[in-house]
């Protein structure tokens, strides 16, 4: 067996059923598109490619705007601390990630703690980090103290 045969077998797992590998890859892509809310699990075709593309672009735009606003608040560098007192899944999804309405008690140096209601996208793998009772560092927009960004 030559070098290229060994490489082919290493990458193919020794199984040269390329059609099965392609099907498995397509099935995985379909699952991810469904989890993101772009399809019902069926493959992207010429008939639905425009719709899938529009949904993905809308999510891209929403994520970009969300990230820019968080970065704007973080850049102000007005620090505080916060405790999440309540979290409710709103049922909304962006790119498959759930949005939660959080009730947050914010504390700033030299000021009385106050409550903020904040809509936050929380990826499923981080839900435990945003459970009620969890503590976080935050940055606060001095122009609107109800506008906060989690930094921890």
pLDDT in tens, 85-102: 999 999 999 998 999 999
Confidence check: pLDDT of 61 > 60? yes
Confidence check: pLDDT of 2 > 70? no
- Beta strand pairing status for 135-141 and 144-150? antiparallel
Mean per-residue pLDDT over the chain, rounded: 90
pLDDT 10s digits, 21-53? 888 888 898 898 888 888 888 888 899 899 999
Delimit the domains of the chain by residue range.
Answer: 3-59, 78-150
Could you give the angle at the alpha carbon of 122 between the alpha carbons of 138 and 29, nearest 5°?
145
DSSP 124: G
Confidence check: pLDDT of 63 > 80? yes
Q: How confident is the model at residue 105, as a pLDDT?
A: 99
Q: How confident is the model at residue 90, as a pLDDT?
A: 97
The model's pTM: 0.75
- Assign domain 78-150 to its CATH architecture: Beta Barrel (2.40)
| Cβ atoms within 10 Å, residue 50 | 9
Question: Which are the contacts of 103, defined by CB distance < 8 A and separation ≥ 6?
Answer: 84, 85, 86, 87, 115, 116, 117
């Amino acid at each position: 067996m030559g070098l290229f045969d060994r490489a082919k077998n290493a990458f193919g797992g020794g199984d040269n059923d390329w059609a099965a590998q392609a099907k498995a890859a397509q099935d995985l892509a379909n699952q991810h598109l469904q989890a993101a809310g772009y399809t019902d699990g069926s493959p992207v075709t010429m008939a639905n490619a425009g719709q899938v593309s529009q949904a993905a672009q809308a999510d891209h735009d929403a994520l970009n705007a969300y990230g820019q606003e968080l970065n704007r608040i973080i850049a102000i560098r007005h620090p505080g601390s916060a405790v999440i007192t309540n979290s409710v899944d709103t049922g909304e999804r962006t790119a498959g990630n759930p949005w939660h309405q959080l009730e947050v008690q914010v504390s700033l140096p030299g000021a009385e703690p106050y409550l903020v209601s904040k809509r936050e996208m929380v990826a499923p793998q981080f839900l435990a980090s945003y459970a009620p009772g969890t503590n976080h560092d935050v940055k606060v927009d001095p122009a609107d103290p109800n506008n906060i960004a989690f930094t921890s």
